[in-house]
Structure 1
Amino acid sequence: MTVITEELKAKAEEIKNEANVCFKEKRFSAAIEKYTEAIEINSNVASYYTNRAFCHLKMESYGYAISDSNLALKIDPNFTKANYRRASANMALGNFKEALKDLKIVSKRAPNDKDAKSKYEECAKIVRRIDFEKAIENNEQKQSVASKLDVDAISVDPSYDGPRINDETKEVDLPFVKALVHHFKGQKKIHKKYAFMIVLAVYKFMTDAPSLIDVKIPADGKLTVCGDVHGQFYDFINIFETNGYPSEKHAYLFNGDFVDRGSFSVEVILTLFAYKCLYPGHLFLARGNHETDNMNKVYGFEGEVKAKFSDMMFNLFSETFNALPLAHVIENKIFVTHGGLFSRDNVTLDEIRKIDRIGQGQPGSDGLMCELLWSDPQPEHGRSASKRGVGIQFGPDVTKNFLETNDLEMVIRSHEVKEDGYVIEHDGKCVTVFSAPNYCDTVGNKGALINITPDLKKEYITFSAVVSISNV
C-alpha cells in the first residue's frame, strides 16, 4: 500500500487546481485528464471524483459520472455532492426513481439548496406521472392515438394564414412544403390539423416498414447522410440551403436525434416528416436515442410539443417514433445506424430487420435495439462498459466482425459531438457524423454531412452554425 505523504497530497491538490482551470475554460477532456492524474497520486479525496464526474456530465458520459459518484461515496458515504452528481446522471438517462433516491438524501442534508430542491420536485413529479400512467395502462387497454384520431373533424379558422393541405386530396405537395419551411423560418406555428395530418401519414407509412431499410442512391444523383440536428432549426435548414433540398435526384438520410436540446424541435421534425410524405423513397429517417419518451421528458421535446400543441400531439409523436426504423443499408455496402454495434459477434442484418421495434416501443436498457441507439466506438479492441451507462463501447475488431459477417464495407453512425463534425475511426471502417454545429449554443463544434454518389464515393462537408433571428 502506497503511503500518501504530505508532499504527494500537495502535488495532487496542485494538479486538481489545474483541472479546475480547465473546467472553467470548458476544456472538459483536459480537465478529466488532470483530475485523473490527481486521483492517481491521491485516491482518497472524494471531491476529485465528483469533480471528474461533473466533467463527465458535461461530456454526456453519464455512466462514467455514476461510477465516479459511487467511488466518492465509497470514500465518504456522507459526501452529499456525490449523491447530487449521481442523481443528475440518472436523470439524464431517464432513471428517475434512482435519481429520486439520491435527491431525497440531498434535500434532507441541504434543505436550503434551491437548485437541489427544484431538481427534487421536478424528478418527483416525473415519477408520480410515470406511476400514474402505468396504473392507467394496467387498468384499461391503452388505445393508440393514431387509431382514434379523426383529423377531418378538426376545423381550421378562416383567419389562419399559414400553409394548408388540400382538403380533397389530403396530399402533402411541394408548394405546401415550401410554404411550411417559410412559415417556420418566421417562427410561426402550423395549424394543429395539418400537423396531425403530417405525423399521422408518417406513422402509417413507417408501421409497414421493416426495422432495417435498404437504400438505393439515385442513379443520376446523390444521397446525403446527416447526423444529429437536435432541434436547431436554422442550422438544419442551412443544410438544405447550402447542400440542396431533398428531391428525387437528391436523397437524404437523417440518422436520428432530430429533437430535444434545441428550441425548435417541433419545426425540425414536422419539416422532416413533410419531406418524408413528399419523397417517401428519397427521404429516410432513423430513430435515435432521443426519439424516446424518457429522453423527451428530460431534454425538452415533450414540453415543447405540449406548449405548442397538446398532450395528444406528443402521444402521436411517441407512437410515430416507435415506428421509425433502426438502421439503413446503403447499396448493400454501408450500414447506417444512430449509435453503434453490439455486445455479441455475428449479428446479422436479417436479425436487425426482424426486430419488433413497434411491439417493444421504448428501447429498454439492453438488447439489439438499445445497442443500435446507444453504443459508441472505442479505439481499443474488444468491448467495454458504456461511458453513457447504456449500450456498449465497441472496438475495431467488433466493427470488422460485423462488416465481414454481413458483406459490408463500412459503418456510419452519429450520436456524438465531434469538433470538426465528423471522425473516421477503426481503420476507416467506422465514421461518426454529427450535424448540429455549436451544439447547445455552447460547444463551438462544426457540423458535418456526407454526400455519397452511386459509385459510393464519399464527400465530407463541414459547416458552422448560422445566426438565427432567435439569438440575434
Structure 2
Amino acid sequence: MAAAVSEEAASRAEEHKLQANAYIKEKKFALAVEYYNKAIDLNPGNHVYYGNRSLAQIRLENYGSAIIDADKCIELNPGYVKAYYRRADANLALNKLKLALLDFRRASKYAPKDPDLRRKLQQCEKAVRVLNFEKALATPKEEIIPEHTKIVLEDIVVEDTHTGCRMTQNEEGKDVVTLEFVLDMIEDFKKGKNLHKRYAYAIILGALEVIRELPNVVHVESPKGGKFTVCGDVHGQFYDFLNIFELNGMPSETNPYLFNGDFVDRGSWSAEIIFTLFALKCLYPSSLHLARGNHETKNMNKLYGFEGEIQAKYTNQMADVFREVFCWLPLGHIINDKAFVVHGGLFASDDVTIADLQSFDRNREPPDEGYMCEMLWSDPQEALGRAPSKRGVALQFGPDITKAFLERNNLELVIRSHEVRDEGYTVEHDGFLVTVFSAPNYCDHMGNKGAFITFSGDDFKMNFTQFSAVEHPDVKPMAYANNYLFGG
C-alpha cells in the first residue's frame, strides 16, 4: 500500500507529469524522464508515472529501465493495460519474443478490442511460431554450409544492358574495387540505384577476405604529419554519412578512418552505407577500419531493418551472407598504443587484459554475457562501481572501472559509441572516456548533432568536429524494420 501524500505534493507531481507528457510529444525523451522522476519523487504511489516513464525509456532505448518501470506500474495497478503493452515492447526490442507474447496476451484480456494491440499480438504469435519452427528444423552447427561459400561470382553475369557502375577486372579476370568505382557507386546510390548482384557479392566477399584475418582487437597507428579519424554510429543515415567525407575528406592511405560499429539498422540506407564501407575496406585494407557494433548482429538486424532492407533491395541469401561476415568484424582497436576503441564499453570483471580479449573466437553471434557481450553493449555511468544496464543487456561502469582498466593495460583513453549524445560527443570519467555518435538528428527526430574525432599523427591531440543533419530523400527511418515492433 503506497503511503498517502499531501494535496500539495500530489498537485505538484501532476504538474511535473504534464510537463513530461509535453516533452514526450516534442520527442525530448531525456527531459521527459527527468520530469517523471520529479513526479515520482513527490508521489511514488501513482502507477501512471511509472507507466509513462517506461514509454520514455523505450524511446531512449533503455529497455531494461523500461521493464523495471512497467513492473512497478503493474505492482501498483495490475489492471493498467499500458504497462503490459510497454513491457512487451521493451522485451520485443531485446528479442525476448516469448516474454513479449505473454504480456501482449495479458494486455488483450484487459483491452480485447484494441486494434493495435490485436495486430501486435497476432504478429508476435506468428514470430514465436516461426522461431519454434526454425529451432525444430535447425541443422547441427557442424553440418551447416556457410552461405558465403556457395557464391560463385563467375556464374553471375553482368548483362550488356546494365547501366550502373561497373568494376574493372585484373589480369586474372577478378573484379577489382577502384576509387573510381567507389565514387561511381556512391553516385548511383544517390540516384536510388542498387548495385549489380555480382558486384555486391564481390565487395562483401572481398571485405570478408580482409577482416577474417584480423585479431579481435586491432592495433592501428595515426600517420605522421596527418590525422586519424574515429566515427561513431551512423545507423543507415547514408546522406549524413557522406557528409562526414565532405567535411573531413574521403578515406585514403593518408586519411585513415575507424568506424566504431552500428553502421546499419534504424536508418533506411543501411545497404548503401555498408557497401561503401566494405568497398573502401577492400580498397584501403590498412586505412579503413571497422569495428562490430551491437547492431551488426542477427537479432538486431531482424528487428531494426537491415535484414528487411537487404531482402527488399537484393536477396534473402545476401542477408544471410552479411550475417556471416558481420561475425568476423573485429571487436576493438587500439590507436597508437594509447586509446582503446570499442563500440559499447567495459567489463564485469576487474582483471581483464587486452590479451584476454584476443583469446576467444569472435566468429559467432554475441552471447548474453561475457567479454563479447560487454564490448558491444556496456555503457558508462557517473557513479563509481558497476550497476545493472538500463538497456537490459551487459552492465554500466563507473569512472573507477575505466581508470583501473586503463592502468592495467597501460593505456590512456577509452573511446566508445553506442549512445546518442546531444552534442555528438561527451568527455566523461574525468577525461578518460569519450563517447562519439555520428548520426545527427538520429532517426529524424532526436535533434542531436553528430560528431567525429580526429587525432593528430604528431602529438596525438584529440579534436572534435560537430555537424548537423543534411537533407535526404523522403524515406522514413525504420522503413524496413519489423512491423510488429514499429508499426506499419
TM over 0.5: yes
Following superposition, the deviation at residue 169 of structure 1 comes to: 3.0
Superposition deviation, residue 283 in structure 1 = 0.3
Correspondent of 1:467 among 441, 446, 471: 471
Alignment of 1:421-432 (within 5 A): 421-432=424-435
Greater Cα offset, 149-158 or 270-279: 149-158
Deviation at 1:2, TM superposition (A): 4.4
Aligned residue number for residue 132 of structure 1? 133
Relative to structure 1, the CA distance from residue 404 to residue 145 in structure 2 (aligned partners, 3 Å threshold; closer, same or farther) is: same
Give distance in 1, aligned partners of 2:463 and 2:263.
Answer: 22
Between 26-35 and 272-281, the greater mean CA deviation after superposition: 26-35
CA distance in 2 between counterparts of 1:419 and 1:10 reads 31
Q: How many residues matched?
A: 470
* Mean Cα deviation higher: 109-118 or 250-259: 109-118
For 2:449, the equivalent position in structure 1 comes to 446
Q: What letter is aligned with 1:428?
A: G
Aligned mates of 1:410, 1:237 — CA distance in 2: 28
Paired AA for residue 66 in structure 2: A
* Identical amino acids, percent of aligned pairs: 50
Give the counterpart letter for 1:460 in structure 2.
F
* Separation in 1, partners of 2:301, 2:107: 25
In structure 1, what residue type is equivalent to 2:166? R
Alpha-carbon distance, 1:7 to partner: 4.6
CA shift for structure 1 position 109 = 2.8
What stretches of structure 2 of length at least 5 have no aligned partner?
477-488
Instruction: Give the structure 1 partner of residue 483 of structure 2.
Output: none
> Counterpart of 1:269?
274
Structure 1 regions of 5+ residues with no counterpart?
none
Q: Which residue of 2 aligns with 1:19?
A: 20
Q: CA deviation at 1:223?
A: 1.1
Q: Output aligned runs, 1:249-260, within 5 Å.
A: 249-260=254-265
CA distance in 2, matches of 1:353, 1:453: 27
Q: Distance in 1 between matches of 2:416 and 2:140?
A: 40
- Cα pair 1:203 1:319 within 8 Å, conserved: no
Report deviation, 1:216: 1.4
Deviation at 1:243, TM superposition (A): 0.5
**Per-residue deviation, 1:471:** 6.3
Q: Does 1:289 align with 2:291?
A: no
Residue 157 of structure 1 is matched in structure 2 by 159
Q: 1:133 to 1:386 in 2, by over 3 A?
A: same
Q: Considering only aligned residues, what root-mean-square deviation do their CA atoms show, in Å?
A: 1.7
1:63 Cα deviation after fit: 0.7
Offset at residue 38 of structure 1 (A): 1.9
Aligned to 2:481: none
Give, in angstroms, the shift of residue 52 of structure 1: 0.6
- Aligned pairs for 1:21-420 (under 5 A) are 21-138=22-139, 141-167=143-169, 168-358=173-363, 361-420=364-423
Q: Please give the secondary structure, in 2, of the residue aligned with 1:354.
A: coil
**1:41: Cα distance to partner?**
2.4
> Is contact 2:240-2:470 (8 Å) kept?
yes
CA distance in 2 between partners of 1:348 and 1:417 (Å): 28
Per-residue deviation, residues 197-232 of structure 1 (Å, max 9, x unmatched) = 111111222222211111111234221100000000
Which whole-Å CA distance do the structure 1 matches of 2:255 and 2:421 have between them?
Answer: 25
Secondary structure at the counterpart of residue 158 of structure 1 = coil
2:268 and 2:475 in contact (8 A); partners too: no
Query: Cα deviation per residue 1:229-286 (whole Å; 9 max; x = unaligned)?
Result: 0000011011112210011100000000000011100000000000000000000000
**Cα 1:122/1:249, change in 2 over 3 Å:** same
AA matched with 2:158: V
Whole-Å separation in 2 of the counterparts to 1:163 and 1:134: 41
TM-score (norm 1): 0.96
Question: 1:39 deviation in Å?
Answer: 1.8
Letter paired with 1:288? G
SS in 2 for 1:250: coil
Residues 95 and 299, structure 2, Cα contact 8 Å, conserved in 1? yes
Q: Give the 3 Å change call, closer, same or farther, for CA 235–157 of structure 1 in structure 2.
A: same
Give, in whole Å, the separation in 1 of the partners of 2:390 and 2:140: 38
Separation of aligned partners in 2, 1:139 and 1:124: 26
Distance, in Å, in 2 between the alignment partners of 1:350 and 1:27 is: 42
Aligned 8 A contact 1:210 1:354 in 2? no
